[in-house]
A and B are shown apart, each in its own frame.
Chain A
Amino acid sequence: MAELDTSSGGGKKGGKVRSKKVSTKVDLTAMVDLAFLLITFFMLTTSLSKPIAMDIAKPDQQDNDVRLELRASETMTILLGKNDKVAWYMGEAETAQPTIESFTEVRKSLLKNKEDLYKARGRQLVIVVKPTEGATYKNFVDIMDELNIAGIKTAPAIDDVNILDGEKAFMKQAGIL
């Protein structure tokens, strides 16, 4: 019959054939080394945090039908200047007294203006954002983020074309243009 000879070498004559016990333990050190190397590689090459999209809509520049009159008293205009400063005013540029603030302060003003308007008239605040030439891309993202944080429901109007002379003059005077 088919039998496996598990003995090592030719068994001694007459002696009992004793199969040699081989340890089943394998040295896993090398395998673990390799596994950790690969883990490190994959950890470093994956980007776990997916980037986040901030959706922006700008008014159509060619279509003049979409123009909409805003009530001055319900409008807050935010001008983005240089050195991470903003200037904002309520109402119309000619009569209003703009305030110069930093990005950390503008959140409070936004909330305050929103509350005041809601209490006085029960209406939502409309925001016009005007980035000027001195602003950086980060400023723009930041202000959109602040509007989101402040919970401004109406879509902000982004206007980088019609920056009024009065606004320019004021910003120049304050040194942020």
Chain B
Amino acid sequence: MPRAKVQRKSTAIDMTAMCDVSFLLLTFFILTATARQPDPLDIQIPSSSYKIKVPDKDVAILSIGQGKVFYEIVGQDVKGKTLDNIGERYKIQFTPEERKRFSVLGAFGVPISALKSFIMMNSDEREKYAKQSPGIPADTAGNNELAEWILQNRKAVAEIHNNEPLRISIKGDAREEYPTVKKIIDILQDQKINKFSLITSAAGG
């Protein structure tokens, strides 16, 4: 009786199709990618059933959480111009290097006195700093730097983008107490900003 011969099959698979698919997906993701900026504050956005998307230019985002406020300017040109305005206002000279670094920064929460050193930090230090930073000072009575940032940002947007109004968006933590939010809204209303958007995430129901 002849022994049954087990036929050896090659283990190599044709990878061509898989390769095609994976590169197609890769191309898609690269093209749709907008790098997500790390959020310095731990924020849970409340959900809503609204359908309007947040525009991606001429906006400013105020992040509110744990009683602190962080500010984010959108757009590199606007960031640079706002920094110039702030420098003029507070008599601080910013070097072109600092201006360049600032124009790629995400949300920040730093008093203007520490702004220079904050700009020169690397991302690790910045993350560490954000954990213990007090946010942007927003005393309605005395040191109201937040109001100044908003004002200069509005001026910068108006100058660069032909008097487009700046849209203020508030990204609040769901657990935040209302009085903290009210304080920030009052600062906005002092500048006659009576319309603003609240950033929410899409809900199922």
Contact = CB atoms under 8 A, between A and B. Distances in A.
Interface of A: 27-29, 31-32, 35-36, 38-39, 42-43, 45-62, 80, 131-142, 144-145, 148-149, 160
7 contacts: A32-B19, A43-B29, A55-B195, A80-B178, A137-B174, A140-B178, A144-B48
Given A28-B16, A136-B174, A136-B175, A54 B48 contact: yes
A145 B15 contact: no
Say what secondary structure dominates the interface of chain B.
Answer: mixed
Given A45-B33, A61-B189, A140-B181, A52 B176 contact: no
Nearest to B202: A52
Contacts of B32: 46, 48
B15 A137 contact: no
B92 interface: no
Which interface residue of A53, A62, A148 has the most chain B CB atoms within 10 A?
A53
B22 interface: yes
Contacts, number: 153
Contacts of B179: 133
A52 B53 CA distance: 4
A60 B175 contact: no
Interface residues of B, number: 54
Contact of B29 (A42, A57, A141, A145): A42
Interface in B165-205: 169, 171-182, 185-186, 189, 192, 194-203
Given A47-B36, A53-B52, A141 B200 contact: yes
B189 A58 contact: yes
Contacts of B182: 131, 160
A59 B171 CA distance: 21
